[in-house]
């Protein structure tokens, strides 16, 4: 008699305690990277809770200790992009609906941003009313390093951060810790990692006292490293184009600027220009749904472009970290080509939000 294969754990754990709905990401080996089914489960759950008058609050956290959410299923996106792109577009369409649903959710949402918070993890935490960081939090939008772009609402949130920090994060893919997340308003509260479980239990025990509970668990994040280069950042990441930023960095003598230039030269030139345009347009928009429709247009095209396929090969598959970008330089990127990435799709292919959101 053969043994039955072990039952696979759900990728998302859903529970309700008292009046709090809890969504726990449960792919610890993949750093809880989002799959299509995870996004679908979260949407279905959130819509059910939205229709339930007994649910007063939602908490989003993760199992294990490795991190909140490292992004999306990049390998799937690259494999799909190398073919017809259908699966990739379906994933983006669904994920962006989840992002939009959370953005307009009518109950307070608590996101426990402990550990890695990147890409897709940013998209499900930034809309939350309470965004809780720890000393283990590592926040980043590293997409320019793989020929993608800072999506999941990145073009909305990043240009609304203080100064030019959002543009710097978008272009360089810089990783920042909890203290900097507090400095920039990415996180609303900071607690020590050792207190996370106690905090969650306290919120679940009496969600009505959440503000008092957060004050009780509050910890000192320490001095934000950003303070050491904030002036340089806001002085150098200005201009009307990526080319101008390169010029400012090349002309400057400070070590920090030289380091940023070296980082930028490793990124996809096409994606740098896409991200710059994305944040510029996103900052001017007033409707989040309109913004996500723009990001879907970008995503549905960029995912099938050579730089994304090559970036995933170099960083995730072969791990030689030596991508051969095409075009290879900022100057060689055709501006008309960038504008075409932002052009409307045929009406039947455009992104739309959930009717219930």
Which of 115, 120, 155, 166 is catalytic? The answer is 120
Note if 11 is an active site residue.
no
Asked about 153 being catalytic, the answer comes back as no
Q: Which of 114, 151, 307, 310 is catalytic?
A: 151
The question of whether 143 is a catalytic residue gets the answer yes
Burial class (CB in 10 A: 0-12, 13-18, 19+), 286: exposed
Given a contact cutoff of 8 angstroms between Cβ atoms, the answer to whether 82 and 306 are in contact is no
| Of residues 217, 186, 256, 210, the one with CA closest to residue 107 | 210
Q: Is the peptide bond before 190 cis (omega within 30 degrees of 0)?
A: no
Backbone angles phi, psi at 219, to 5 degrees: -130, 165
Task: With beta carbons less than 8 A apart as the criterion, state whether 78 and 129 touch.
Answer: no
Neighbours of 126 (CB within 10 A): 22
> Which one is catalytic: 21, 67, 71, 72?
72
Beta strand segments in the chain, E: 12-17, 20-25, 57-62, 109-113, 116-118, 130-133, 138-140, 176-177, 189-190
Instruction: Please pick, among 61, 114, 143, 310, the residue that the annotation labels catalytic.
Output: 143
Q: Indicate which residues carry an active-site annotation.
A: 72, 120, 143, 151
């Amino acid at each position: 008699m053969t043994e039955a294969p072990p039952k696979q754990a759900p990728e998302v754990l859903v529970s309700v305690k008292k009046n709090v709905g809890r969504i726990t990401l449960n792919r610890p080996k993949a750093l809880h990277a989002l799959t299509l089914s995870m996004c679908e489960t979260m949407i279905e759950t959130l819509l059910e809770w939205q229709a339930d008058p007994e649910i007063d609050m939602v908490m989003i956290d993760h199992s294990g200790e490795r991190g909140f959410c490292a992004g999306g299923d990049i390998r799937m996106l690259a494999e799909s992009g190398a073919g017809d792109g259908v699966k990739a577009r379906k994933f983006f369409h669904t994920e962006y609906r989840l992002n939009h649903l959370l953005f307009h959710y009518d109950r307070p949402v608590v996101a426990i941003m402990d550990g890695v918070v990147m890409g897709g993890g940013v998209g499900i935490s930034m809309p939350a009313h309470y965004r809780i960081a720890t000393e283990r939090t590592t926040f980043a939008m590293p997409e320019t390093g793989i020929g993608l772009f800072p999506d999941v609402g990145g073009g909305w949130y990043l240009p609304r951060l203080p100064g030019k920090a959002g543009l710097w994060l978008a272009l360089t893919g810089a990783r920042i810790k909890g203290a900097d997340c507090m400095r920039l308003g990415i996180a609303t509260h900071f607690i020590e990692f050792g207190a996370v479980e106690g905090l969650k239990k306290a919120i679940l025990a009496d969600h009505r006292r959440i503000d008092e509970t957060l004050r009780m668990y509050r910890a000192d994040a320490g001095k934000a490293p950003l303070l050491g280069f904030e002036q340089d950042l806001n002085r150098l990441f200005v201009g009307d184009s990526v080319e101008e930023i390169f010029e400012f960095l090349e002309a400057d003598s400070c070590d920090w600027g030289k380091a940023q230039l070296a980082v930028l030269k490793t990124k996809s030139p096409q994606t740098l220009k896409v991200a710059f345009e994305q944040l510029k347009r996103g900052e001017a928009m007033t409707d989040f749904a309109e913004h996500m429709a723009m990001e879907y247009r970008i995503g549905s095209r960029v995912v099938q472009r050579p730089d994304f396929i090559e970036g995933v090969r170099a960083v995730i598959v072969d791990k030689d970290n030596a991508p051969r970008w095409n075009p290879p330089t900022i100057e060689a990127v055709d501006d008309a080509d960038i504008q075409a990435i932002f052009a409307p799709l045929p009406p039947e292919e455009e992104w739309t939000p959930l009717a219930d959101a």
